[in-house]
Amino acid sequence: MSILDSKTPKGPLADKWTNYKNEINLVNPANKRNIDVIVVGTGLAGGSAAATLAELGYNVKAYCYQDSPRRAHSIAAQGGINAAKNYQGDGDSTYRLFYDTVKGGDYRSRESNVYRLAEVSANIIDQCVAQGVPFARDYGGLLDNRSFGGVLVSRTFYAKGQTGQQLLLGAYSAMNRQIARGKIEMFNRHEMLDVVKVDGKARGIIARNLITGEIERHSAHAVVIASGGYGNVYYLSTNAMGSNATAAWKIHKKGAFFANPCYTQIHPTCIPRSGDYQSKLTLMSESLRNDGRIWVPKNMDDVMAIREGKLKPTEIAEENRDYYLERRYPAFGNLVPRDVASRAAKERCDAGYGVNATGEAVYLDFKSAIQRYGKEQAKLHNVENASEAKIIELGADIVKEKYGNLFQMYEKIVDQDPYKTPMMIYPATHYTMGGVWVDYNLMTTVEGLYCIGEANFSDHGANRLGASALMQGLADGYFVLPYTIGDYLSHDIRTGKISTNTPEFDAAEKEVKDRIDFFVNNKGEHSVDYYHKKLGKIMWEKVGMARNAKGLTEAMSEIKALREDFWKNVKVPGDANEFNPELEKAGRVADFLELGELFAKDALNREESAGGHFREESVELDGEQKGEAKRNDEDFAFVSAWEYKGEPGDAVLHKEQLEFKDIELKQRSYK
């Protein structure tokens, strides 16, 4: 276990980052020109890292599978980005953001990393505004904030419901400036298919040009992986169709430990699946729960009548509705954290109360909010004895102002008017807190190989707070990695250009080519999607919102069997040397079929409930919290970092013990 050194600097928590920056080695500007860095992925983390490294003077090569860095899935984030600016004067501080993040993560994250994250958060907002990101402003012309995800302060900056898009475009513009200067060489429509190690250090990658199919060798002095999370292991998720774990998984197979794969966030307010053809799930901002009330019918007869289309939800009387969150969690009600809300929805649907044809949907009802706002408005505008219709009209206007774009999106997809009838929602896989293990420097267990953003495991512990993903991605890319990587690269100033004509590159390229050749030549009978859907079903049913030892054990063997079948029977049309989306998918699904098994293994190993990981065996047995998740700090206050040993099931566990010096560990309660 000695190899898992987090390299956290000594000293008091609040001074660690400053002291660290003062003591690390720097690279002189003239030498930076001789150093190459590869960045895989161009979302918030990768894009901001590539731009900043190029500004510093390194030669950056950046890669994305889309046709432009601007299309990375960070773009889909809606709600906002947290920063401890305390512009609202409501008592926010670096410490408070740090505290909320650690607590929200159910005490499974590394204190020093989280504190640093909170510390640089304010710089992010300054940087983005300077880049021309049009954040929302108040009438005084200053930046506006909203509160988010059940914290006690307003620290979330936003740009309509498109914060991720605007931040990504900011990072993209910074990249564009460097591309124009020739400091970033951009490889669009390229996919990294392996990392190349020379003398134990990461020195390059093998990438496929997705247009021509050509396999290319690229070398550098350091490699940064910023390829996002692995939520698509569930097939259906709110991730983009192309989001994949291949880069992260390939480096895992080459020696980077994979940490806490079982920590996955299931977001409660997504649009439910409407049929088997469904290809992805659409998330609607959590903010909807501020005004919407979640319920299912109390009586099974009503459920059946609704499913058969004989009854409308608006026809069910108040006393026949089960507002189950308000019933179970009177203190927080509809505003319980994401994991709790998701599990409660699953519980109702498993009990048979789901309200759509698939049985996997609950109502999110705005009727009382519309009424409440309507009455308020009637008073405000001195409308005497306002009619019911007038009140509804006034209230709907307010709701429209707050959530108009979400309501419109819902109506486009579902073809129902959420102002008139309750929305249907269901939880969906959204974010993965687990990922490649990194130390304080964001370096993996392979020298010179870094991992940032959602792809690493570092800052969110077992559960991520709303509006914190954007913060972490940009913190890593703009403000952390550019420092920490310099410390490593300062030893490489005399190395010179890394040759791609070495046995290591030969071997890695051969491996990649052999795999592609296998796919296009295999005379199988099932499409790649066939396997992906099957994997997703196993993951969702047995490694989903609630997990138990029996299910997890079954999942491991089922995934293994599915993987074996995949390698016999997968069918990939087309050729290797052309634009071939099916071939791309095949490689990604092959990796998911391995990752899924490790995921289940990790979940099986963690015999406690923490954040997004809920073990049915680990619940409170009595008292007020009866039936709620129970964490086990005694035995599980560690990071599980898995070392690859040839088969996912044979992975070896390494533990990084988590120490909490500045925070007291508490059980969460939302009763």
User: Taking CB under 8 A as the criterion, which residues in 562-621 touch other proteins?
Assistant: 571, 573-574, 578-579, 581-582
Q: Which is nearer to other proteins, 153 or 556 (CB)?
A: 153
Residue 480 binds other proteins (CB under 8 A): no
Whole-angstrom distance, CA of residue 408 vs CA of residue 296: 23
309: contact with other proteins by CB under 8 A: no
By CB under 8 A, the residues from 516 to 535 that bind other proteins are: 527, 529
Q: How far is the CB of 25 from other proteins (least distance, A)?
A: 19
Is-contact 216 209, C-beta < 8 A?
A: yes
**Nearest residue to 395 via CA among 371, 368, 419, 366:** 371
- Beta-carbon contacts of 283 under 8 Å, excluding residues fewer than 6 positions away, are 76, 78, 238, 267, 269, 270, 271, 428, 430
Q: List active site positions.
A: 338
Residue number with CB closer to other proteins (278 or 368) = 278
User: Contacting other proteins (CB under 8 A), which of 5, 15, 126, 315?
Assistant: 126
- Judged by CB, which is closer to other proteins: 25, or 212? 212
By rule CB under 8 A, what string of x and - marks binding of each residue 185-224 to other proteins? Answer: -x-x----------------------x-------------
320 three-state secondary structure = helix
Each residue 481-500 as x (binds other proteins by CB under 8 A) or -, in order, gives -x------------------
Tell me whether residue 230 or residue 263 sits nearer to other proteins (CB atom): 230
Least distance between other proteins and beta carbon 662 (Å): 24
DSSP state of 319: G
Provide, for the chain, the percentages of residues in helix, strand and coil under a 3-state DSSP scheme, each rounded to the nearest 5.
45, 15, 40
Among positions 370-409, residues that touch other proteins (CB under 8 A) are: 408-409
57 binds other proteins (CB under 8 A): no
| CA angle (6, 8, 14) in 5-degree steps | 145
Binding track over 73-102 against other proteins, x by CB under 8 A: x-xx--------x-x---------------
Minimum Å distance from CB 252 to other proteins?
Answer: 24
Give me 215's structure tokens. 């396999």
Alpha carbon distance 373, 386 (integer Å): 13
| Length, in residues, of the chain | 671
How many whole angstroms separate alpha carbon 476 and alpha carbon 240?
A: 22
Neighbouring C-alpha atoms within 13 Å toward the C-beta of 572: 26
Of 130-189, binders to other proteins (CB under 8 A) are 130-143, 159-160, 162, 165-166, 169, 172-174, 176-177, 179-180, 186, 188
CB of 34 vs other proteins, minimal distance in Å: 21
- Whole-number Å distance between alpha carbons of 182 and 180: 5
Told to check if 274 binds other proteins by CB under 8 A, we report yes
Residues 34-53 close enough to bind other proteins by CB under 8 A = 48, 51-52
The distance from CA 269 to its chain's CA centroid, rounded to whole angstroms, is 15
Q: Residue 250 to residues 61, 158, 205: CA-CA distances in angstroms?
A: 19, 35, 10
Q: How far is the CB of 567 from other proteins (least distance, A)?
A: 18
Nearer to other proteins, 498 or 583 (CB): 583
Strands 423-432 and 264-270: antiparallel
